[in-house]
Amino acid sequence: MTVDTGQVLSASVNVSSQKLLERIPHVAWLMSEEGEVLCVNNLWSVYIGRSSGDETINNDRSDLVSAEDKPLPTSYLCPQRFTDLLSPQERERFASTWVVAIRRQEPLELKLRLIGNLGNWEWFQVELEPDVQPDGTTIWIGTAMRLGGEAAIPGRQQSTQFLEALLAYASDGIVACDADGRLVLFNQMAQNFHGLPPEPLAPEEWAKYYDLYDGDGTRPLTKSEIPLFRALQGEAVVGQEMTIAPKDGMARSLLANATAIYSPTGIKLGAVVLMRDMTPYKQAMMALQLSERKFRAIFDGAFQFIGLVEPDGTLLEANQTALKFGGMAAAEAIGHKFWEVSGWKFSPAVQQQMRAATARAAAGEFVRYRVEIAGADDRLIPLDFSLTPIRNDRGEVILLIPEGRDLTQIEQAQSDRARLERYSERLASALQVAKAGAWYWELAENKLYWTREFEILLDYEPDSTQKTYSEWSQRIHPDDLQRVEAIVRETVAGRLPQHRCEYRIVCRDGSIRWLVGVSEIGTDEEGKVYLSGLISDITDLKRNEEALRRSEEFQRQILESNNDCIKVFDLAGRVLYMNHGGLSRLGIKDFTTIVNKHWSELWPSDAAEKIERALDLARDGKRGEFEGFCPTATGKPKWWEVIVTPILDGEGRVERILGVSRDITDRRDAAVAIQASEELFRYTFEYTPVGFAHVAPQGQFQRVNRKFCEILGYSSAELLQLTFHDITEPADLCEDIALVDRLLQDEIQEYTLEKRYIHKQGHHVWVSLTVSLVREIAPEGQLGAPSYFLSAVLDITHRKQLELTNQQQTVELQQLNTSLLLAQHQLTERNEELDSFVRIASHDLKAPLRAIANLAEWIEEDIKDRLCEDERQQFELLRQRVYRMSALIDGLLRYSRLGREDLATETVDVTQLIAETIDSLDPPVGFEIEMVSPLPTITAKRILLGQVFANLMSNAIKHHQRADGRIEIGAKDCGDYYHSMFKFLSYSSTIEGGSGF
């Protein structure tokens, strides 16, 4: 059953509470933590004047009595929510501070605007204090003091109240001054325009908060230009544009109308100005104009041909580039079919192709192809042409955008680039093989450019930026410098168009190197004079053969020590040389086993095509590259990066082929491992039985797995449009957000929370949520910026339902236990009644037995002289039967107490006990009961054991189908126990039987 907290709190409000509120000289009320107003004072009803049912509160308290416990009349228990009295702007501000005050149980104080009984808004200083009740609930005492006026508004005329409401709700700003020019009125909208604070403010302080400018917002208004001042001077101001710039706020463009105010007798009372906010309109117009200018500038300034075409092919617009190329005026092209424009008329086939392309684009297809178009001089140029369909909101094609890009320069540049690349590759290969460096010197700008080989030959630092003539000349040996500079001067002066010069340079380590240089002077296409040339190292020619041998040995050692596999092939692709590093990496112990073998024989068969292609490129003087798999001679798998280059002879012909193979197995394995790791993460993320989500710091879902979608019933695309706030039960959201803030502040590393999500179908889903924050990598000692939250979600709805079921079952068990206790109490009462009955019955039965015994004894004494032996035995039998019946009644009394009293354990002679039982049963004539074997003496509870024997024998006699029979009783000693045997025999059969056994 759900308990209405408001009803409970309302019921706790009594007359004493009302009296307390009436003593407060301001608007006062009591309310619950849910914001429900429980009780108000008289000033409340004067100002507010209504309840939540829009009925005026009865202020007549004559029906109140002095009894403290008497509940208040329903007219004072106003079930109105306090937030209904706040302006929409104030509700959010109040709600945030109200939640904190409730949690901390601390007083709350703030300024709020409340709505009055006439719909007007006024500022109040609101204070709320908690008051904990004896039952643990909290009632909040609220007071509101009106700012800038009294707490109540009695005596004001309705017209004044209507005017105040009209000013407060007017969408235009209204400002008024008196006849002396003093500002006396700013309505709410005018306060917003001027940036005035929400609290009441003295009129002389208003001008401190804003400045007035002209319509463009660039020039301050003089006093005579201010609309209110002009109106005060008697001028009617209509449609004046002006700008208000608050000191702390956004400037606004306003349209002002102003006029003077006169009394009915013609006395000037002042002036008023009405201001309408034109800011959004002006911004929209400026943005539209700017957008149109930008579009036209881009449209006409584009280098490519651009236009607009209707789906039927009619040309609507063409940019200046297209019109200028075709030598057409806009009127000659616009309005005609696109394929009938003069540029396509040179070829009917091109026109038909353009017509078909237009039809395809009108059907929604993006069309692009290469086509030629004729210009005004009948020159054909190639175009990269496309037609792009533009659709409306319904998906219908409403426009086509034709675009053509001139491919002339691109195709020419591609052709030139291809030729230049081929030339550069050949030149680079030639320079590399010849160990020559090239250089280029712009004399006017004194800029020197050189190749990598030039740097090496002159012993420059790699990628040196000191490319100047001075740097080069400093490298020349002092003994050769004067001669070389003289040759350079002659060449620059034009007296020596070409020259060849040998000279020495001093390397950084002090060694000497001989170089030979050749150069010539020339002029480029811009008329700039340049000097270009080549240098090569001739140091080896200047040394003896021993130095040459040492150099060759040094190079061989470099090759041998290289970890890459370096090979030399003949033009047929046969292996002529392989360095030691290559043999080691390939696991080849003897080079003679592979010499003169074709290179492809060392590779798997599927690599033959790659190898031949690379060899063909090298034979053509080009560089070939590929990656491939090739195991070593020992079978170890390896991946290789292979570069194949030609080796040229002295005449520049390809003489040999150089192959360099680098082991990239580790790199490939790392890439495969990364890919496998990413795939594992993706699979784990998607198929884990736990819901996972990546959530942006602002709350938007960035990535969700299938389980998360299954828990909430949304698709992945739908969740990516939502935030976690959207799917969280509002009552659980505050705690979640507080923990998120702690994560962002690095106060905690993660948190786990049980909360409720709202399923797509609307019902609640209980989840266990664990959240941690992933931050971006930051320098050591710094905290990385938040990247995303990692949320793990486990559906615990079933567990919650079980908890609820357990609670219900606990209540049921408690109820059942109460029933059992009641039944036990009733059983105890019944047992007590039974004990009483048995005692009474025992007494009532034993009294006649004693009388019979006494009577028999008296008769026997009186006639003992006349009794025969048989009669004397009958009297003895009568006394025994009476004693036995008395003993039986005592046993019955003890038997009735079984389970409530402990019977004594005693030594029992089983033979005697059975004999007494047989005698008490008095079997009918025809039945014999005989003990066929000795019976033991045991320790037992005599009454219970006798009852067992009596039941066995009486059942056998009672349920036997004949009037005669025989019962044999015996026992067998089994060591730790006795095995008793009862055997029933029918006289007409030897088969054992008998009911009751």
Domain with residue 389: its CATH number is 3.30.450.20
Distance of CA 862 to the CA centre of its chain: 115
Q: Do residues 315 and 227 share a domain? A: no
Q: How many CA atoms lie within 13 A of 794 on its CB side?
A: 10
User: By C-alpha distance, which of 474, 425, 467, 424 is closest to 446?
Assistant: 467
SS (H, E, C) 55-111: CCCCCCCCCCCCCCCCECCCCCCCCCEHHHHECHHHHHHHHHHHHHHHHHCCCEEEE
User: By C-alpha distance, which of 530, 616, 523 is closest to 569?
Assistant: 616
Q: Do residues 88 and 179 share a domain? A: no
User: By C-alpha distance, which of 662, 655, 663 is closest to 576?
Assistant: 655
Residues 561, 584: Cα–Cα separation, whole Å: 11
User: By C-alpha distance, which of 239, 272, 231 is closest to 255?
Assistant: 239
Residues 70, 18: Cα–Cα separation, whole Å: 11
Distance of CA 179 to the CA centre of its chain: 64
Query: 70 near 14, Cβ under 8 Å?
Result: yes
Q: Is 93 contained in some domain?
A: yes
Tokens matching residue 119:
């719909």
Residues 354, 387: Cα–Cα separation, whole Å: 10
State the residue range of the domain holding 720.
Answer: 686-802
Q: Output phi, psi for 40, to 5 deg.
A: -135, 160
Q: Do residues 133 and 185 share a domain? A: no
User: By C-alpha distance, which of 699, 716, 703, 693 is closest to 767?
Assistant: 693
Whole-Å CA distances, 684 to 768, 789, 791, 823:
19, 18, 14, 59
Q: Output phi, psi for 140, to 5 deg.
A: -100, 130
Q: Is 859 contained in some domain?
A: no
Whole-Å CA distances, 362 to 226, 343, 350, 397, 553:
58, 21, 18, 6, 74
Tokens matching residue 533:
């040339």
Alpha helices in 2-59 (DSSP H): 5-12, 15-23, 42-47
| 768, 802, 836 - which closes a domain | 802
Tokens matching residue 668:
């490939």
pTM value is 0.28
Give the residue ranges of the chain where pLDDT is below 50.
1-12, 51-79, 149-156, 987-997
Q: Do residues 357 and 396 share a domain? A: yes
Task: Provide long-range contacts, Cβ within 8 A and 24+ apart, for 668-676.
Answer: 668/639
Q: What is the largest CA-CA distance in the chain?
A: 194
Residues 906, 922: Cα–Cα separation, whole Å: 26
CA dihedral sign, ordered 459, 464, 466, 468: positive
Distance of CA 349 to the CA centre of its chain: 58
What letter does residue 314 receive in the DSSP assignment? B
Query: 565 near 579, Cβ under 8 Å?
Result: yes
**Which residue type, as a one-letter code, is found at position 315?**
L
Q: Do residues 195 and 313 share a domain? A: no
Q: Is 190 contained in some domain?
A: yes
Q: Is 499 contained in some domain?
A: yes
Alpha helices in 181-226 (DSSP H): 188-194
> What CATH number did the domain enclosing 923 receive?
3.30.565.10
Q: Output phi, psi for 173, to 5 deg.
A: -80, 135
Q: At what angle do helices 869-896 and 797-862 cross, to 10 degrees?
A: 160
Q: Do residues 142 and 36 share a domain? A: yes
Write the DSSP assignment of 158-186 as a string of letters. HHHHHHHHHHHH-SSEEEEEETTS-EEEE
Q: Is 253 contained in some domain?
A: yes
Residues 139, 129: Cα–Cα separation, whole Å: 9
User: By C-alpha distance, which of 50, 113, 41, 101 is closest to 79?
Assistant: 50
244: CB partners within 8 A, 6+ apart? 193, 194, 210, 211, 212, 213, 251, 252, 254, 275
User: By C-alpha distance, which of 99, 55, 62 is closest to 77?
Assistant: 55
- Residue 148 gets the label, from left (phi > 0), alpha (psi -120 to 50) or beta, of left
Whole-Å CA distances, 784 to 164, 776, 885, 902:
55, 5, 102, 80
Residues 538, 171: Cα–Cα separation, whole Å: 94
- pLDDT value at position 898? 59
Q: Do residues 747 and 719 share a domain? A: yes
Q: Is 296 contained in some domain?
A: no
Q: Do residues 212 and 278 share a domain? A: yes
| 775, 802, 829 - which closes a domain | 802
Whole-Å CA distances, 96 to 93, 99, 109, 503:
6, 6, 13, 87
Q: Do residues 139 and 41 share a domain? A: yes
Q: Is 817 contained in some domain?
A: no
Q: What angle do CA 49, 200, 90 make, to 5 degrees?
A: 60
User: By C-alpha distance, which of 224, 203, 204 is closest to 214?
Assistant: 224
Q: Is 931 contained in some domain?
A: yes
**SS3 for 955?**
helix
- pLDDT value at position 896? 64
Residues 659, 664: Cα–Cα separation, whole Å: 16
Tokens matching residue 984:
């029933």
Tokens matching residue 461:
């630092």
User: By C-alpha distance, which of 686, 626, 617 is closest to 657?
Assistant: 617
411: CB partners within 8 A, 6+ apart? 382
**SS3 for 940?**
strand
CA dihedral sign, ordered 193, 197, 200, 206: negative
Query: 644 near 617, Cβ under 8 Å?
Result: yes
Residues 946, 762: Cα–Cα separation, whole Å: 73
Query: 511 near 537, Cβ under 8 Å?
Result: no
What letter does residue 943 receive in the DSSP assignment? H
Query: 628 near 640, Cβ under 8 Å?
Result: yes
37: CB partners within 8 A, 6+ apart? 29, 30, 31, 52, 78, 79, 80, 81, 82
Q: Do residues 233 and 167 share a domain? A: yes
Q: Do residues 712 and 659 share a domain? A: no
Query: 808 near 816, Cβ under 8 Å?
Result: no
User: What is the number of domains present in the chain?
Assistant: 7
Residues 883, 451: Cα–Cα separation, whole Å: 143
221: CB partners within 8 A, 6+ apart? 212, 213, 214, 242
Q: Do residues 182 and 275 share a domain? A: yes
Instruction: Give the DSSP H/E element, type plus range, for residue 913.
Output: helix 910-921
